[in-house]
Structure 1
């Protein structure tokens, strides 16, 4: 039985301003509606690609999305940052309305879109259980019947009568998930919030979602960048790309399609204005052409950073991840360790793995730029600079024993961290 159906869902936003932006645009829309004409601004708007410069005041966050979900099905929605996943879930949850199209559902929807959504910071955890349950459409009697089970599952029993404003983000997401999962919605919508919880809670939450779908026959819509969680939990996925459906089908094929669709270039380059610390370039020097690196040979990573002002406590880190987005290594530098201040300008850093313990397969980089003291996040690159480790005939047999283990930080040689000014291309 079809429990949710999306028909021609599109969502348009105006860039840079709230709402339609000007009275003239509102009048044009009103005049078109009075005459029974189509909204004139539905004919304009650029594609939802966050990496390109805007060529219009309007952007289509979603464009002509169509799909159906059966009762008891767990549907994964995956895609790059900015592909439209969260916007789609907000429309499905009726947090916001579509610009065009229609959502048809049967039954009650419970949404867990952001940490603490629907929670009041001044109320206690127990009071927020009742508040959040009421928002989800439950009666006080229904909430009371599940109260003890919710508190026990969340693991926050000791603090349940403490105001939520004193909770950590992990405690909030524990309580929020427990409320949404135990109030028996027909459709449970979850957007990446499990990334906040610890490993024990993530395992517990995934088990609960499996019980919800398989045992209770309820439907789950799940958004995550964790391909392991997606592969374990879902039986079908939708891959979004630039606001459109790029793939719909079985989970394994969808994950392969998503990973295949990523940028396969060895170089990343940012072109645009820099008004905060920015990663303007990332590059890998492989031992062979075509993104291929010979197993056991040294590999070099080069990162270019642009600083629009004087910067203290700069922190640059990167992870090597495999084709399933599982982190293999993690390397970083902290200016705070050297009490270093950097002047305005462009910098280049190099990191060399002399003998990387990377087994044969496909890899890419996740890069972070932040302030190590304030924890402010400046920039983030997800799955860039793809490369492949390959065994060559020239490699001696003694390399065969090496396993796919993490590369410890002491084995990584950063190139002196000197202030290395580089020119913009």
Structure 2
């Protein structure tokens, strides 16, 4: 049975807005007097929710509130959420950089953290000296560090500058070296924040590959924060979603990503089409609903470029139709440029039985749309697609949000809003 290597119990973190510490001697006295009498800290009863978009009328804010989870050995836990949700605060608590206001962290083994560019580096020292410094901080002997030195330098790609003070490194070089140190000095738990985004595409691919190796091959644990949902889903085994300092969802990585995308979707999808009065056609059958699903059957409003996507059209039959039915739909970008189109008669598909069943699904194994917001227009017609044969026609019936993704699986996110991506091989 896999053992628990890290456990967070009722973790909360409170900060005073506008100042460092509690702010006044009077507040410090109240805290200490309550502690001496065995009473609860009076300031734990106050404090605003951690919502950065709202103006606060209180002096205290809860950056985190009552977070509970545990991580098994060899797991990769993704921690996702909007900016200001409390992700970095949680990682700092787990890394012992700061202490929780309430709660307890239990862990087994060494924890290496990569929270900011140059974390743990003395920038007056050379890259080589910083490797030994970081190893010593992790509790390793000089001999252990020396045995890994060549691998660290080679992985970082900074060999030419390894004996140069790190204050002369670029941010990307600093991250390369810092990650190499954290990964190769064999901590039981590796904590990585969004800092990897500073590196170039080639390094990000190497770093993600290394994290997969140390979790799957070496059985070590990784805590990973990123806004790249494609990386979270491909790298992590489980995910936790934070919102305003609270842990609002925990599941496997795919479900956590889907929850986050649904919760933060800003598009105005109109899946219930009954109230739309701008449709045309004879109305014998209407498209009553449009929905999108992931590969595991979860309903979604956003999808990552290159992922599986199911588009479901639901129907309401109001009058019997004898002629052959044709369904077509098109996706347009924010500039109303046509980016994709499907028509069932071109596919040689007979959809009559599907319509009678009540719905039809279009499964797209690898979505070739680039990142952006797309609107869907559909036409349901009989015999031909000419206007006089339209049964139901509606523009902007549904909005689909596509996130930039690593379509070719090379560690590089595609660009948004240019053209459709063509799957191809170079031979």
For residue 339 of structure 2, give the secondary structure of its aligned residue in structure 1: coil
Is residue 260 from structure 1 mapped to residue 262 from structure 2 by the alignment? yes
1:323 and 2:309 matched? no
Counterpart residue number, 2:249: 247
CA distance in 2, matches of 1:147, 1:324: 42
Residue pair 2:334, 2:374 contacting (<8 A) in 1 also:
no
Pick one of 397, 417, 422 that aligns with 1:407: 417
Q: Which runs of 5+ in 1 are unaligned?
A: 267-283, 295-321, 328-350, 367-385, 398-403, 410-425
> What's the counterpart of residue 5 of structure 1?
7
**Does structure 1 conserve the Cα–Cα contact (< 8 Å) formed by 2:12 and 2:66?**
yes
Report the secondary structure of 1:151's partner residue: helix
Q: Against the structure 1 CA distance between its residues 405 and 48, is the aligned structure 2 distance closer, same or farther, given a 3 Å change threshold?
A: closer
Alignment of 1:412-423 (within 5 A): none
Give how far 1:139 is off. 1.8
Return the offset for 1:407. 3.4
Which runs of structure 2 are paired with 1:318-357 in the superposition (5 Å)?
323-324=302-303, 353-355=335-337, 357=339
Partner of residue 145, structure 2 = 143
Deviations 1:260-317 (A, max 9, x none): 1115366xxxxxxxxxxxxxxxxx9xxx9999xx9xxxxxxxxxxxxxxxxxxxxxxx
Unaligned runs of 5+ in 2: 280-300, 307-332, 343-363, 387-413, 420-427
Deviations 1:324-352 (A, max 9, x none): 5669xxxxxxxxxxxxxxxxxxxxxxx97
Report the 3-state secondary structure (helix = DSSP H, G, I; strand = E; otherwise coil) of the residue aligned with 2:378: coil
CA RMSD, 1 decimal: 3.1
Q: Is the 8 A contact 2:47 2:62 kept in 1?
A: yes
- Does the residue aligned with 1:8 lie in a helix, a strand or coil? strand
Q: Residue 239 of structure 2 is aligned with which of 237, 240, 247?
A: 237
1:135 Cα offset (Å): 1.9
Mapping for residues 165-244 of structure 1, pairs under 5 Å: 165-244=167-246
Which protein shows a greater Rg? 2
How many residue pairs get aligned? The number is: 310
Q: Distance in 1 between matches of 2:121 and 2:203?
A: 20
Alpha-carbon deviation of 1:391? 3.2
> What's the offset of the Cα at 1:137?
2.2
TM-score by length of 2: 0.67
1:22 to 8, 21, 24: 24
Contact conserved, 1:357 with 1:407, CA < 8 A, in 2? no
- SS of equivalent residue, structure 1 residue 82: coil
Q: Per the alignment, in what secondary structure is the counterpart of residue 185 of structure 1?
A: coil
Map residues 273-352 of structure 1 onto 2, 5 A cutoff: 323-324=302-303
Contact 2:334 2:373 in 1 (8 A): no
Match of 2:392 in 1: none
Which residue number in structure 2 is paired with residue 59 of structure 1? 61
Q: Aligned residue for 2:376?
A: 390
